Amino acid sequence: MKTSLAFFHCTRGRPRGLALVLCAACLPAAHGFTVGITAGTRALFLQVGAGTMTGGTFNNNATPGNNSTVNTASVTVPGAQLGSGTAQAMTTSSTVTASPWDGFAFCTSPATTGQVYVGGFYRVPGTTGAAATLSVSTPVSLANANGDTLAFSSIAWTSSGNGDATPTIPSGAFTGGAQTLLSVTRNTWFESCLAFRYLNTQLVPAGTFNGVATFTLSTP
C-alpha cells in the first residue's frame, strides 16, 4: 500500500528592492525561527517545498517569485506492517534545505529526513494591524483508483528546524478539513521544516492513495 501527498504552495506579492533589518528584540532561542522585517508595501510570500528567490537571499534584498512546482510526500507500507500501529516515515520530492531568508541550512537533508520547508513573510506599511494566518486545507480522505479511502487524519507531521528548540509551526496532524497552523505577526518572516508520517493504525485495501494538502497564507 502506498500513500502519496501533494503540496500546493502560493506566492502573494512581489516586493522589489526591499531593505530588511533584523529586529532589535527577536524571539529568544527557545522559540521557533521568526524575525522582524522592515515595514513596506503590503505583501505576502509563502513557500512550501521548492520556491523562487531571485538575487540571493531575502535579507539581502532578493526578490521572491512564483514557483509552479508541487512537491510530494509519500510512503510505501510493507504488507507485513499494514495496520501494525508503527508509524511509517514519509519521503519527499523536495530538496530544499537552505532558508530563503539568509541561506542557513535550516532543514536537514530531505532525502534522509523527509523534511519539507515551509516559510514566508507578511509585510504591511505601518506597525499596526491584524496578523496574517497560515492554514492548511485537505479533503476528508485520500483515495485510490478503486475508490477506497484513507482518512487524511492518518497523516501527521513533526515540526523542527536546525537551531530551534521549539518549532515555529507546531507539530500536529491533518484533520481532513481546514485548520489554522500559525498566526503571523505583521512585518515578520517565519519558517519551519515539517517531516510527515503515516500513522498506520488500520488495515486498508492495497493500492496507491492520493491526496492534496493546500497551504495558504492570508490576511484579514
Domains of the chain, by residue range, sit at 2-13+31-218
Are 152 and 174 contacting, i.e. CB atoms less than 8 angstroms apart? yes
The torsion angle over the Cα atoms of residues 126, 130, 132 and 136, rounded to 10 degrees, is 180
The pLDDT of residue 165: 84
The pLDDT of residue 32: 54
Average pLDDT value for residue range 4-18? 32
40, pLDDT greater than 70: yes
11, pLDDT greater than 70: no
Q: Where are the alpha helices (DSSP H) in 33-188?
A: 110-113
At CA 196, angle to CA 194 and CA 202, rounded to 5? 155
pLDDT band at 9 (very low <50, low <70, confident <90, very high): very low
162, pLDDT greater than 70: yes
Residue 107 φ/ψ region, left for φ over 0, alpha for ψ in the -120 to 50 degree band, beta for the rest: beta
pLDDT band at 63 (very low <50, low <70, confident <90, very high): very high
